[in-house]
Amino acid sequence: MKHFISIHDITHEEFNQLLSLAAKLKREQKSGVTHHILKGKTLAMIFTKSSTRTRVSFETGIYQLGGQALFLSANDIQLGRGETIYDTAKVMSRFVDGIMIRTFAHQDVLDLAEYGSIPIINGLTDLLHPCQALADLMTVKEHKGRLRGLKLAYIGDGNNVAHSLLYACAKAGMDISVASPKGYECDSEIVKNAKEDAKELGSKIIMTNDPVEAITDADVVYTDTWASMGQESEKEERVKAFRGYQIDMELFGKSKPDSIFMHCLPAYRGFEMTAEVIDGEHSVVFDEAENRLHAQKAVMAMLMVGDSKNG
């Protein structure tokens, strides 16, 4: 595994290795065991999209592994203000040992990986959010003891989180059903790729416009904000389109009695779910948020241990 850009790009064995390493690093960190396996390493963190969880979890994670993070906002670098990604990738590869980028255009991440000579980590693009999906399935495994054969229901916008969950569930052998309003469905190419990935372990992928169909008998219920960053001008239109997709206790009750509720945060109570659901006994959203730290530590460890500049 040279980069972590899309879960579609890695094998299900590599995906399981990441989950196992994340769980090990979490256990040991909580028991006081330290791993400075990235001592002397520097991770450049490029943010053209602001963040709370991504920045804090990556900075804390590499610190716990003995390395250091360098935060670069859109105002700190020349990318997008005249300097090409080609030049940026070449120069950064001489300075640091890895790059995490959180940005709008997915092509920016692909270009960094193509032109640079160091590991690239996708912290989020408009198309994919693989770090979130890795932490999500880590959380499911903690609470359910397994992944294969479980059903995850995603209710809401067919966005970057939904896309990465499709890939992650396919690699883990989990069934996934996605319910979105017409016009807000997942990208057809992503769905096609996920269905192809799912054949290896035999999991099912269901795409529907019916939230009841999606959530029935689900082990995991997942939702996300209806208007993501950059879509603020569409909020009123989206609120109308997503009426009927709110996860309230009535809809949640159609999942299995021991199901868990997940949300990648930030969450907007009274919109995509009710407070009763997200603050209730089935919710594991804060375990899920914490696991961003441990999942990303596993990604950095697998990519950056050794002389990353020379592979």
Active-site annotation holds for 102: yes
pTM of the shown model: 0.96
Query: Is 139 among the domain residues?
Result: yes
Query: Is 217 among the domain residues?
Result: yes
162 and 205 together in one domain: yes
Query: Is 182 among the domain residues?
Result: yes
Query: Is 251 among the domain residues?
Result: yes
98 and 138 together in one domain: no
pLDDT tens-digit series, residues 10-58: 999 999 999 999 999 999 999 999 989 999 999 999 999 988 999 999 9
pLDDT tens-digit series, residues 99-150: 999 999 999 999 999 999 999 999 999 999 999 999 999 999 999 999 999 9
pLDDT tens-digit series, residues 202-211: 999 999 999 9
One of 3, 129, 163, 263 is an active-site residue; which one? 129
Active-site annotation holds for 292: yes
86 and 40 together in one domain: yes
Q: Can you give the residue range of the structural domain that contains 238?
A: 132-289
Query: Is 2 among the domain residues?
Result: no
Q: What is the mean pLDDT of residues 73-84?
A: 78
At residue 80, the pLDDT reads 62
Name every residue whose Cβ is closer than 8 Å to that of residue 64 and which is 6 or more positions away in sequence.
Answer: 29, 34, 35, 297
219 and 191 together in one domain: yes
150 and 116 together in one domain: no
Query: Is 1 among the domain residues?
Result: no
Query: Is 173 among the domain residues?
Result: yes
91 and 136 together in one domain: no
Active-site annotation holds for 78: no
- Structural domains of the chain, count: 2
The tokens describing 134, both together, are 């890795």
121 and 187 together in one domain: no
One of 3, 8, 55, 102 is an active-site residue; which one? 102
306 and 256 together in one domain: no
Q: Mean pLDDT over all residues of the chain?
A: 95
One of 64, 132, 246, 296 is an active-site residue; which one? 132
Q: Can you give the CATH number for the domain in which 186 is found?
A: 3.40.50.1370
43 and 74 together in one domain: yes
Active-site annotation holds for 129: yes
Q: Does the pLDDT at position 310 exceed 60? A: no
284 and 300 together in one domain: no
Residue 62 Cα to chain centre, angstroms: 18
At residue 304, the pLDDT reads 97
Active-site annotation holds for 264: yes
Query: Is 58 among the domain residues?
Result: yes
One of 197, 224, 238, 296 is an active-site residue; which one? 224
At residue 79, the pLDDT reads 73
137 and 161 together in one domain: yes
One of 55, 264, 294, 296 is an active-site residue; which one? 264
45 and 179 together in one domain: no
Q: What is the mean pLDDT of residues 274-294?
A: 98
pLDDT tens-digit series, residues 234-260: 888 999 999 999 999 999 999 999 999
70/234: higher pLDDT: 70
Q: Does the pLDDT at position 299 exceed 90? A: yes
